[in-house]
Amino acid sequence: MTDSTINFGSSTVLGYPRIGPRRELKHALEAYWDGRSTLPDLLLTGQQLRAATWQRLAALGLTALPSNTFSYYDHVLDTAILLDAVPDRYRALGEPHDTHFAMAPYFAMGRGTDDLAPLRMTKWFDTNYHYIVPEIGPATAFRLADDKPIAEVREARALGLRTRPVLLGPVTFLLLSQPASGGPAGFTPLSRLDDVLDVYADLLAALRAEGVDWVQLDEPALVADRTGDELAAVRLAYHRLGRLADRPRLLVASYFGELADALPALAETPIDGIGVDLVRGRLPDTSTLAGKTVLAGVVSGRDVWRTDLNRALEVLRQAQDLAGDVVVSTSCPLLHVPYDLAAETHLEPALRDRLAFAEQKVAEVVALADRLSRTTGTAGTGTITTEPSRIVSEPGSALPARASRSPYHVRAAAQSEHLRLPALPVTTIGSFPQTGELRAARAAVAGGRMDREQYERRIEAEIDQVIRLQERLGLDVLVHGEPERNDMVQYFAEHLDGFATTNNGWVQSYGSRCTRPPILHDTVSRPAPITVRWARYAQSLTSKPVKGMLTGPVTVVAWSFVRDDLPLRDVVGQVAEAIREEVMDLEAAGISVIQVDEPALRELMPLRRGAQAEYLDWAVAAYRHATSGAGDRTQIHTHLCYSETAEVIAAIDALDADVTTVESARSGARLLAEPAINGFGRGLGPGVYDIHSPRVPGTAEVADLLATALQVLPADRVWVNPDCGLKTRTYPEIEAALRNVVTAARRTRAALE
């Protein structure tokens, strides 16, 4: 058993951003993938980023530093590699644990190859981070196949620093996995818990032999509703790991909400510490935490607002009454916030004074730990003050009275007569590749090196190219390619009142993909049309319909850092009104197909079932308000991707969009197997091309996916489209892929005649 005198310390964070302050990891990954650098170059960048993080956290005053929070692609994928849960089809590429797993099998599982599709990808709980879904079967042979957690302990020690390795907990790992295809009916990955625990036991013993004092096991799945069998698995796992004869001290960390019934299940096991989210959750009413070290997550890891230190200090003192040893921490890993506010000197001082990015949140944690240690409760280091008064605007009506659109069958008839589309119409989701030249042009106009007229000519030239390419390939409903947009949310934030945008506020979305979430801090309104100028220009180039492209109100809010002084539904309602105005202006400009995307509909849904119905009610109402100004002839599309879409299929139907496009190719058409799809009463486009992989699908592969769709949907309601936008791909990739998509659609269409 571990030495009971080992002290955790007074302050820590559950994890830290890993992309680098200037997206160094993104640039290193893409250079390696493109053949512009070598594997040693990539590994060196990773080593430098890890070292810089540990040294900076120590300099800021944290007493306990996390390690093994860095990843070259995704921490869930890292765990699959660690446990050797590698499907056989990837093993021919090499040993995945060579050179700390940064080899072909690892990236093939995340991105795919010319010959291999990647593993499925979906959202990490209710965040915009995407994780790679492991495949687990009855025959998966688990073993300790990698030394990454140990190697990082050694790296930090070479710098004179001790760290706490962070591991994805065994229960959450299995709950997030999917059964491997071909397994027996009723098999669940959680049934393999005993075998996985064998590997965790081996790893814990190795870490203890390495001199590690504490290990953090992340179990965020425990803040969602869990069955009795799943809670029994929690007890089994942590009784077994807690009773190991020679192990480090074990901290089980939860986040994104309250543990609820999982808390007593954990507390009765012989683990040493429990991490609780006290931003989204509350302290328990009883002495459940007695005898445990408690990591009290009082500094939010999900937003960019400064912490009210006095309020947080009161919560910490209450925690001390329930547990003997309280450590100040963030509510969750800081993966979901930008690095440093210091880079954002352009922000208005009144707003800037309300903000805290990752580095500032670490300083808050340290200041709170200092104040908690003082018996007088006076201010800590003096470098952090309590939260300034919020600027509170008067809320408007959450959802103004709206006009109802005609019933779907009326609209469908009007649209059929007006648009005259063929069966199985082919379209794309919206964006086309964002070239280096486009990004350079945006930077030049922002920096004053290119005038507005030159920039607009450059954008028009790109739209010309995109329209001509789609006509040449034979698509039926075109898009303008969105060359003027940096991001599907940030672009709208830059044109709406109530938002601020950052220069360097990057947050990882998946792999090398990063976004800059806007900051929604005041009342939202639309001072002028946003997209009409480019949609009208694109439509003037072709006789085929060109879609107007908008981002839905729920997604704009979900992918922003949102003010917390108004109910979320009221904020979404303000955005919905702005989008409604844009829809009406697009229609008035002659745009007959308008896509209002809501990929975050499932993502923003509360993790607990008891709160989901209310959320879906107002989220659907917001979307319907945003689209309610369109006439019957105007076809409204929406798009959802890379989330558990099947869980909200009834709500998707209730959005009342005329056509819904969804991710399907990467997940192997799982959605089409859902019984609810048979009752879906509108147009549906299950994706036939996974755009998050560089591989080009063959014509036969696309045709097979279309055949699967036609088995469950009538042909007059099936659309043909990629899984998502094409922004991250190259023109050679998408031209080859779309040519195959069109060919497969035409062959399938001919077979129906």
Task: Give the span between the Cα atoms of 522 and 189, in whole angstroms.
Answer: 45
Q: What average pLDDT does the structure give for the chain?
A: 92
Average pLDDT over every residue of 407-435: 96
What is the structure's pLDDT at 286? 75
Average pLDDT over every residue of 37-56: 97
Task: Give the span between the Cα atoms of 623 and 598, in whole angstroms.
Answer: 8
* 441 vs 254, higher pLDDT: 254
Residue 723 has pLDDT above 70, yes or no: yes
Which residues are part of the catalytic machinery?
A: 692
Average pLDDT over every residue of 658-679: 84
Residue 390 has pLDDT above 70, yes or no: no
Q: Angle at the Cα of 694 (from 504 to 333), degrees rounded to 5?
A: 40
Q: What backbone phi and psi angles, to 5 degrees, belong to 520?
A: -90, 105
Residue 152 has pLDDT above 50, yes or no: yes
pTM of the full predicted structure? 0.91
What is the structure's pLDDT at 397? 47
- Cβ(744)–Cβ(706) below 8 Å: yes
Residue 560 has pLDDT above 90, yes or no: yes
Residue 391 has pLDDT above 70, yes or no: no
Residue range 53-103, pLDDT digits in tens: 999 999 999 999 999 999 999 999 999 999 999 999 999 887 655 554 447
The size of the chain, in residues, is 753
Residue 378 has pLDDT above 80, yes or no: no
What is the structure's pLDDT at 379? 37
Task: Give the span between the Cα atoms of 535 and 545, in whole angstroms.
Answer: 11
Average pLDDT over every residue of 541-549: 98
Rounded to a whole number of angstroms, the distance between the first and last alpha carbons of the chain is 73
Q: For residue 526, give the nearest of 544, 545, 551 by alpha carbon.
A: 551
Residue 386 has pLDDT above 60, yes or no: no
Strand order in the sheet with 659-662: 547-551, 593-597, 635-640, 659-662, 683-686
What is the structure's pLDDT at 443? 85
Q: Is the dihedral of CA 4, 7, 13, 16 positive or negative?
A: negative
Q: For residue 668, give the nearest of 613, 626, 708 by alpha carbon.
A: 708
What is the structure's pLDDT at 708? 92
What Å distances lie between residue 297 and 156, 249, 274, 689, CA to CA? 24, 19, 10, 41
Report all structural domains of the chain as residue ranges with CATH numbers, in order of start.
24-372 (3.20.20.210), 411-431+465-491+530-752 (3.20.20.210)
**Position 649 confidence tier, pLDDT thresholds 50, 70, 90:** confident
Q: Which two tokens stand for residue 539?
A: 């439509």
**Percentage of the chain lying above the pLDDT 90 cut:** 82
What is the structure's pLDDT at 503? 94
Residue range 593-626, pLDDT digits in tens: 999 999 999 999 999 999 999 999 999 999 999 9
Stated as kind and residue range, the H or E segment containing 253 is: strand 249-253
Q: Which two tokens stand for residue 609?
A: 């079932």
What is the structure's pLDDT at 9? 83
Average pLDDT over every residue of 299-313: 97
